[in-house]
A and B are shown apart, each in its own frame.
Chain A
Amino acid sequence: MSVILECTELTKKFASKIAVSGVNLKVERGQIVGLLGPNGSGKSTIIKLANGLLTPTRGNILIGGRKPGIETKKIVSYLPEKTYLNDWMRVHQIIELFSDFYDNFKPEKAYDMLKRLNINANDRLKTMSKGTKEKVQLILVMSREAELYLLDEPIGGVDPAARDYILATILSNYNENATVIISTHLISDIEKILDSVIFINQGQVVLTSTVDDIRDEKGKSVDGLFREVFKC
């Protein structure tokens, strides 16, 4: 299997603190990976570095062997933890924007999912609740046929019923060559769809393992192991 995401000695310092510190990481294609860690552990920072929204202080991050740039942006579908939608557009207009800029965006998929979640494509983003906006963003992101999906807290703000649908959507929408990296601290909810996990704490990787190994060798669930490793 080839590597889709590779970090070497990746470091990011902000004015007063080190957010990511000397991370070495290889993620192979064709799996769903949980990027797990407590709040402020550096999960979002790594994902933003992968999208070129932050510049590394030291080290490298490569996607499919390339530094973040136009070619990587074409194959990466990114769900940020913020709402990036402006408030004056209607849902169908933002879908047009995605179709215009991304060759691998499938509008019919997006309309299909909107219907399932009872969101009207003519609604203005301004009038939507935070949770609905998050759903729209996730629909946009999952309607692309990308090689790497980077989902930062995809289920944080939505209700449990929508959570199940979203997880099912993630599972059914990616093909076997694609990779999904999900950052979250809501582990029990997503545990069942993960193939492997990366535990991260204070900007450093503390454990990488497949979920099967955790269950077989340690006899624990990912959630149980997480509670043990990050015990306060």
Chain B
Amino acid sequence: MLSKLLKYEIKATGRIFLPLFLALLIFAGITRFISAVGPEKWATPAILSMIIYIIIMVGMFVMTFLMMIQRFYKNLLSDEGYLMLTLPTKPWKHITSKLLVSMLWMGVSVIVAMISILIIAFNKGDISDIAKGFTRFYHLVLEQLGASAYLMTFEIIIAILLSLASGILIVYASIALGHLFSPHRTLASFGAFIVLSTLTKIFFILVSFNGFSNIYFNISSINDLVGLQSTMQMVIGYGIIFTGIQCAAYFTVTNFILSKRLNLD
């Protein structure tokens, strides 16, 4: 069932995002082309297409954010919820499918944005320079850290994905909590968001106080990259655990409300 939900979620959102990505790449190409033709004669069109390019870029990131809210609210908690929530699937699968697809589009947006920048700014030899830089960096890191470099990269990726997920799930949880306050749901959702972020900060401070002594002890022993590395790994480790707990809490709240406290208008 989860795979079917994912399929429909991608269909429903892809029809918005794919044209946006295409438009961004096309305007990056146009900007590049016009600027290449000749700077003086083509100044105005070049600026114009650059502005359109930037607007599309901003629009794309705003859209990933709006879409995340809209797909959750409109598809599950407004009229469309009559269809979605009477399908024979568990609510957690709805939440998971929406979360994963939101993360997917956010990730792809970043990649498409980078490609478009490359299109505009690309010069001959750049690619090999970039590649050279990467290889040098890779060797340097590997030399200093050894095999644990892979572990660290893996940890960083996990940490990024988890923070993205927690950013989305806090919004889902806020909307779900707002849903409990029948006449003023939107206002209540904003209130819930403020309360949830405050609670999270308090929790973070409490956790840091506990972890702080360990990290402090480690910082005092930093005198080379290896020492720095173990401290960094510790910080990232704490970050992963902390963000993971956050995600789990927001997910549990959202799932509880969708399965036990649902009240569709």
Contacts and interface: CB of A to CB of B under 8 A. Distances in A.
Interface of A: 14-15, 48, 51-55, 70-71, 73-74, 76, 78, 80, 82-86, 88, 97, 100-102
Contacts of B75: 86
A73 B93 CA distance: 15
Contacts of A88: 12, 15
A14 B182 contact: yes
B79 interface: yes
B262 A82 contact: no
Given A15-B183, A84-B82, A55 B261 contact: yes
A2 B196 CA distance: 48
A88 B80 CA distance: 12
A100 B4 contact: yes
Contacts, number: 58
Contacts of A83: 79
Given A14-B182, A52-B85, A54-B264, A82 B90 contact: no
Give chain B's interface residue range (CB within 8 Å of chain A): 20 to 34
B130 interface: no
10 contacts: A15-B183, A54-B263, A54-B264, A70-B90, A73-B86, A82-B79, A84-B79, A84-B83, A86-B75, A88-B15
B48 to A, nearest CB: 31
B114 interface: no
Contacts of B4: 100-101
Nearest to B261: A55
Contacts of B87: 73, 101-102
B104 to A, nearest CB: 19
A20 B128 CA distance: 72
Contact of A85 (B15, B81, B83, B183): B83
A183 to B, nearest CB: 15
A53 B78 CA distance: 11
A73 B86 CA distance: 6
B1 interface: yes
B89 interface: yes
A53 B83 contact: no
The winner among B12, B82, B85, B263 for most chain A CB atoms within 10 A is B82
Interface of chain A: mostly helix, strand, loop or mixed: loop
A35 to B, nearest CB: 18
Given A15-B182, A55-B260, A55-B263, A101 B89 contact: yes
Interface in B86-104: 86-90
A170 to B, nearest CB: 19
B81 A53 contact: yes
B8 interface: yes
Given A53-B264, A54-B264, A86-B12, A70 B88 contact: yes
B80 A86 contact: yes
Nearest to B16: A88
Nearest to A71: B88
Nearest to A100: B4
Contacts of A101: 1, 4, 87-89
Contacts of B262: 52-55
Contacts of A86: 12, 75, 80
Contacts of B86: 51-53, 73, 76, 78
A203 to B, nearest CB: 16
